[in-house]
Structure 1
Amino acid sequence: MMTGEEAQKLESALLIERKDYVNRILSFRDQEPVKIITGIRRCGKSSVMRLVIRRILHDHVKPEQIIYMQFESMSFNGMSLQELYQYVKQRCRTGEKMYIFLDEPQLVEGWEKAVNSFRVDFDCDIYVTGSNAYLLSSEYATLLSGRYVEIKMYPLSFREFISFNHMAVSKRKNFLGRTETMMIDPSGAGIEAGQVLEAYMHYGGMPGVSAVGLSQEKSMMLLDGIYSTVVVRDILERNSRENGGRKADALLLRKIILFLADSIGSSVSLSSISRTLISERLVENKTKHGAPAVQTVSLYVEAIKKAYLFYEIKRFDLRGKEKLKTLGKYYIVDPGLRNYLLGYRLGDTGHMLENIVYFELLRRGFEVAVGKLGDREIDFVAEKQGKRIYVQVTQSMTDPKVWKRELEPLQMLKDNYDKYVLTLYKGIDDNAEGVHIVSLIDFLLEDKVI
Structure 2
Amino acid sequence: MIKREMYMKRIRPFIGTELIKVMTGIRRCGKSVMLELIKEELVESGISSAQFISINFEDLNFSHLQTAKSLHDEITKRAAEINDKVYLFFDEIQEVKDWEKCINSLRVSLDCDIYITGSNAKLLSGELSTYLGGRFVEFVIYPFSFAEFLELYRPIAPDEPIQKCFQKYLLSGGMPYLANIRYEDAPSKLYLHDQFNSVQLKDIVTRNKIRDIDLLERIIAYVIANVGTTFSATSLAKFFKNEKRTVAPETILNYIKYCCDAYLFYQVKREDLQGKQILASNEKYYIADHGIREAVFGGNMRDINLILENIVYLELLRRDYKVTVGRTGDKEIDFVCDKSGEKLYVQVAYLLASDETVRREFGAYDNIRDNYPKYVVSLDEFDMSRNGIKHRNIRDFLLAEEWN
Tell whether the structures are fold-level matches, with TM greater than 0.5. yes
For structure 1, the 5+ residue unaligned runs are 1-14, 168-184, 241-246, 286-292
Cα drift, residue 279 of structure 1: 1.6
| Pairing 1:231–2:200 present | yes
Contact 1:305 1:311 in 2 (8 A): yes
C-alpha distance in structure 2 between counterparts of 1:277 and 1:340, whole Å: 24
Higher strand share: 1
| Pairing 1:20–2:42 present | no
C-alpha distance in structure 1 between counterparts of 2:401 and 2:335, whole Å: 17
Moved more, 231-240 or 21-30: 21-30
C-alpha distance in structure 2 between counterparts of 1:313 and 1:186, whole Å: 35
Contact 1:388 1:418 in 2 (8 A): yes
Contact 1:309 1:332 in 2 (8 A): yes
Q: TM-score, normalised by structure 2?
A: 0.96
| Pairing 1:77–2:72 present | no
1:280 pairs, out of 238, 243, 246, with: 243
Q: Secondary structure at the match of 1:126?
A: strand
Contact 2:173 2:289 in 1 (8 A): yes
- How many pairs does the alignment contain? 402
Cα drift, residue 386 of structure 1: 1.0
Higher Rg of the two aligned structures? 1
Q: Partner residue of 1:438?
A: 392
C-alpha distance in structure 2 between counterparts of 1:29 and 1:248, whole Å: 42
For structure 2, the 5+ residue unaligned runs are none
- Output one character per residue of 1:385-407: Cα deviation in whole Å (capped at 9) or x when no partner: 11001110112224211110001
| Pairing 1:210–2:200 present | no
User: Which structure exhibits the higher relative contact order, with contacts defined as CA atoms closer than 8 Å and separated by 6 or more residues?
Assistant: 2
C-alpha distance in structure 2 between counterparts of 1:145 and 1:91, whole Å: 26
Instruction: Spell out the pairing of 1:171-320 with structure 2 (5 A cutoff).
Output: 188-189=158-159, 191-240=160-209, 247-281=210-244, 283-285=245-247, 293-320=248-275
C-alpha distance in structure 1 between counterparts of 2:171 and 2:157, whole Å: 22
Q: Secondary structure at the match of 1:326?
A: coil
Q: Secondary structure at the match of 2:279?
A: strand
C-alpha distance in structure 2 between counterparts of 1:345 and 1:48, whole Å: 29
Where in structure 1 do 4 or more consecutive aligned residues deviate above 4 Å?
Answer: 185-188
Cα drift, residue 95 of structure 1: 6.0
Q: Partner residue of 1:402?
A: 357
Q: Secondary structure at the match of 1:347?
A: coil
Q: Partner residue of 2:26?
A: 40
Q: TM-score, normalised by structure 1?
A: 0.86
- Output one character per residue of 1:266-301: Cα deviation in whole Å (capped at 9) or x when no partner: 1111111111122212x325xxxxxxx111111111
C-alpha distance in structure 1 between counterparts of 2:188 and 2:380, whole Å: 29
Q: Kindly tell me: are residues 187 and 308 of structure 1, through their superposed partners in 2, closer, same or farther at Cα, counting changes over 3 Å? A: closer
Q: Partner residue of 2:138?
A: 150
Contact 1:98 1:125 in 2 (8 A): yes
Contact 1:381 1:388 in 2 (8 A): yes
C-alpha distance in structure 1 between counterparts of 2:178 and 2:56, whole Å: 22
Q: Kindly tell me: are residues 187 and 392 of structure 1, through their superposed partners in 2, closer, same or farther at Cα, counting changes over 3 Å? A: closer
| Pairing 1:105–2:105 present | no
Cα drift, residue 31 of structure 1: 1.4
